[in-house]
């Protein structure tokens, strides 16, 4: 289904001023680090946010053997559904700026005995320092990440550049609820504040600009947005 069939007019995203964005991200990183052990329990993942990951991975259409880059992997909440989709022959690479969050993810991986998941700690805005030379992927996942990363556009560019031809991108992220869900806007704003998310950013719009086949869906009264598509990349110059 084309993106237009899903989309409703939305206000243009307003990006926060750089200093505010830096403060917001430092706050989020501190919270993610100090609260890593309790994150899975307190993040409302099961009652609210898990549906975005589950529906998103389904839309991504992964196959056994695919290589996937999980940007903002955190405690690895997306890893089980990704691992099921790519199987033992696939490869998952997760990156996150919080070493404490990745420590939880590593315990999750060890408990499952997965040998095809590689976690790397660092700033997603500098993916070139985290990915190996020539490393490429069949799909990239940003799950509740682009609304947190300060230099999210650079993180986006780096991830898209690592896609193989025909590779797909999934964005799962947050906005303020619409319709009757507006009654819950104070709670949504608080959740975004605690997590360091900017609910006005609407990063999925970047995918619409470069992926003619992009599809868009919403969940939880518009609090969760999902977008999947195949970015059209400029041909790389010959060496």
Q: Which residue has the tokens 């609304």?
A: 147
Task: Judge contact between 226 and 170, C-beta under 8 A.
Answer: yes
Which pLDDT belongs to residue 235? 53
Segment 127-146, tens digit of pLDDT: 999 999 889 999 999 999 99
Question: Dihedral (C-alpha) 83, 84, 86, 91: value to the nearest 10 degrees?
Answer: 20
Q: To the nearest whole percent, how much of the chain has pLDDT over 90? A: 58
Evaluate if pTM is beyond 0.75: yes
Pick the CATH number of 35-229 from 3.40.50.1580, 3.30.360.10, 3.40.50.150, 3.30.2010.10: 3.40.50.150
Segment 70-90, tens digit of pLDDT: 999 998 999 999 999 999 999
* Signed CA dihedral, 121, 122, 127, 129: sign only: negative
Distance (Å) of CA 204 to CA 13, 24, 48, 118, 127: 10, 20, 19, 26, 19
Which of 31-40, 117-126, 216-225 has the least mean pLDDT?
A: 31-40
């Amino acid at each position: 289904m084309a993106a237009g069939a899903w989309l409703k007019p939305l206000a243009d995203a307003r990006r926060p001023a750089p200093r505010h964005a830096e403060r917001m991200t430092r706050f989020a990183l501190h919270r993610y680090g100090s609260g890593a052990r309790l994150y899975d329990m307190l993040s409302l993942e099961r009652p609210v946010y898990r549906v975005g990951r589950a529906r998103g991975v389904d839309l991504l259409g992964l196959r056994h053997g695919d290589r996937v880059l999980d940007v903002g992997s955190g405690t690895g909440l997306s890893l089980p559904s990704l691992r099921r989709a790519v199987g033992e022959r696939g490869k998952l690479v997760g990156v996150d700026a919080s070493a404490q969050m990745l420590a939880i993810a590593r315990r999750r991986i060890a408990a499952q005995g997965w040998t095809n998941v590689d976690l790397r700690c660092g700033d997603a805005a500098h993916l070139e320092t985290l990915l190996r030379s020539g490393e490429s992927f069949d799909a990239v996942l940003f799950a509740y990440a682009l609304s947190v990363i300060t230099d999210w556009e650079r993180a986006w560019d780096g991830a898209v550049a690592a896609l193989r031809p025909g590779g797909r991108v999934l964005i799962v992220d947050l906005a303020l609820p619409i319709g009757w869900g507006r009654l819950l806007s104070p709670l949504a704003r608080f959740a975004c504040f605690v997590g360091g998310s900017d609910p006005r950013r609407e990063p999925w719009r970047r995918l619409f600009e470069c992926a003619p086949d992009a599809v868009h869906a919403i969940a939880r009264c518009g609090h969760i947005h999902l977008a999947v598509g195949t970015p059209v990349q400029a041909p790389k110059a010959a060496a």
